[in-house]
């Protein structure tokens, strides 16, 4: 137990110092890593196998989210243009959007399948819950900051 706490502290400190140099996104990523580490209570062997798989997944999902944001930006630009958006263009955008969403789903399924090889099912469920809880906390903090600004 003391080793786990020490490991979490070391991870937090190393990510915190890294995050201070690189801004809010890196800081949030460091907090997410620390939060997931704490919630899953990974053994050192599990952690060694878990993080490369999870980080690869996060990188892939990040690229897919970026693609989705670009797609939505393109739809807005096409819709606001002088000619507007034709039905065929709208259909093409929808097809591209569905493809991105399908890739996200496929990536998530692959993550769970890969994690089943190294973690007990209960820890995978804890991961899903931890991710949802973390995202909820982030949204709550964003809402709170917006309220405090106004």
The pLDDT of residue 58 is 95
In the numeric block, which tokens belong to residue 126?
């804890």
Closest CA to 127 of 109, 114, 112, 106: 112
Six token digits for residue 12: 């937090």
Asked if the model's pLDDT at residue 13 lies above 80, the reply is no
What residues have CB less than 8 Å from 71, skipping those under 6 apart? 93, 96, 97, 100
Alpha-carbon gap, residue 58 to 104, rounded angstroms: 11
Local structure of 84: helix, strand or coil: coil
pLDDT at 65 over 90: yes
> In the chain, where are the structural domains located?
1-41, 44-131
Which pLDDT band holds residue 32 (cuts at 50, 70, 90)?
A: very high
129 and 36 in contact (C-beta within 8 Å)?
no
Name the one residue in this structure whose structure tokens are 């990974």. Answer: 42
Please give the mean pLDDT across all residues of the chain. Answer: 86
Is residue 128 packed enough to be buried (19+ CB in 10 Å), middle (13-18) or exposed (0-12)? exposed
pLDDT at 43 over 80: yes
Reported confidence tier of residue 8, pLDDT bands at 50, 70, 90: low
Q: CB of 13 within 8 A of CB of 37?
A: no
How far apart are the C-alpha atoms of 74 and 9, rounded to whole Å? Answer: 43
- For residue range 66-120, list pLDDT tens digits in order: 999 999 888 888 777 656 778 888 899 899 999 999 999 999 999 999 999 999 9
């Amino acid at each position: 137990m003391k080793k786990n706490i020490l490991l979490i502290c070391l991870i937090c400190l190393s990510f915190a110092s890294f995050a201070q140099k690189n801004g809010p996104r890196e800081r949030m990523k460091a907090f997410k890593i620390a939060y997931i580490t704490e919630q899953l209570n990974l053994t050192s062997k599990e952690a060694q196998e878990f993080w490369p798989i999870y980080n690869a997944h996060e990188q892939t999902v990040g690229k897919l989210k970026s693609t989705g944001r670009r797609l939505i930006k393109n739809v807005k630009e096409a819709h606001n243009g002088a000619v507007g958006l034709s039905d065929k263009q709208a259909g093409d955008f929808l097809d591209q959007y569905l493809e991105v969403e399908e890739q996200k789903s496929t990536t998530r399924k692959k993550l769970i399948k890969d994690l089943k090889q190294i973690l007990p099912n209960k820890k995978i469920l804890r991961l899903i819950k931890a991710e949802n809880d973390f995202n909820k906390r982030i949204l709550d903090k964003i809402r709170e900051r917006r309220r405090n600004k106004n």
